[in-house]
Amino acid sequence: MTTSAAWRLPLSVLLVLSLVGSMLVMTAGPSRASEPAPEASLNVPASVLIGDSFSFTATFDNVAATSTGYGPYLDVFLPVQGADGDPGADPIEPPDGISFTGSATYLGADVTAIELELACDGTDVHPFTGLEVSCPAGTGPGDVLLVLELPFGSFTPTQPPATVDLEVELSDRADLGVPLPITAQAGFRYGADPLDNPDADPPIVQDEPVVAEVAPTLASLSKSYLGPEDETATGPNFPRTWLVELTVAEGQTLTDVALTDLLPDNVAFLDAEVTVGTGSITTEPPDDTPQTAGVVEATFPEVTGTGGVSAAFEIEFYIPEFD
């Protein structure tokens, strides 16, 4: 006759077995926190004159605690079609967004850049990872994915961030004031080891892309001080000059332009004159004696953008001894 016996283990032994089991479960595979963590950031001008070329930067970093990633790259999505471009329309609506001019550099050296025109229909394949490209919000058919291959085999968390300078152009057909999104995403094409073994170690891609917007503008206005330094002695023997400049987008024309400068209450006005464009000083403080504060206005019947400063005037002033 066979007899069965129930094995009874001391509580201490059961606790040990439970802990061992937990340890085995926890170490069965690398946790997300232990992986390399590619991260992109953008530095993009908030506004750009319509039709102008401009530059911006995309920066790569590995923000993991300790893990090294292999095959670092940056994806930059450019809104080539802009607000109105539509390659699928009949007739085709021409693009009016931001296009790449061919210059991408890291510390002055050229960076390999691959341009991929997107369909955004599930057929786009990333040239490095072989994965389907997911078009971010604001990106559509006819826009471009710019894939930047960084000049590193690997990237550790202790490396300084790598910044790539890019040159692009805003269409002269861009819609005034309609923001255009530039999107960036970082990745490691080989994942957490240097081998091209995607089944065991798939590519690692930043979870959430970053977005920066550029607003097309018609004109920009600036005021600068032309003195020898950012401070001055007081009194009329030390006259100083401000320069007010208007830059209009190339090929665009503004009519009946009035540029007004409100002088601070601690300066004494001396004189004003138009230095660029066909215009005149139409409002200024009385010139019989220097006045504290006041308004200076220059008017221009027509101003056309030519690729540089379109209109300007200078204001001569001094700081009274007792302001």
What one-character-per-residue DSSP string does 280-316 give?
EEEE---SSS-EEEEEEEEEEEEEEB-SS--EEEEEE
Domain spans, the chain: 34-217, 219-318
CATH 2.170.120.40 matches 34-217: no
The total of other beta-carbon atoms located within 10 Å of residue 264's CB is: 12
Going through 12-63 in order, the beta strands assigned E by DSSP cover: 38-43, 47-49, 53-62
pTM: 0.81
Secondary element (H or E) of residue 161:
none
Residue (of 193, 236, 228, 233) closest to 71 by Cα position: 193
Q: Give one word for 277, left, alpha or beta, with left for phi > 0 and alpha for psi -120 to 50.
A: left
CA distance 92 to 116: 20
pLDDT of the residue at 137: 92
Grouped pLDDT means (10 residues each) for the chain, 323 residues: 42 36 35 80 97 97 96 98 87 92 96 97 96 95 97 97 98 94 98 95 96 97 90 89 96 95 88 96 77 86 95 93 65
Both tokens of residue 296? 């200076």
Q: Which residue in the block uniquely carries the two structure tokens 């283990």?
A: 9
CATH hierarchy code of domain 219-318: 2.60.40.2260
Domains 34-217 and 219-318 in one fold = yes
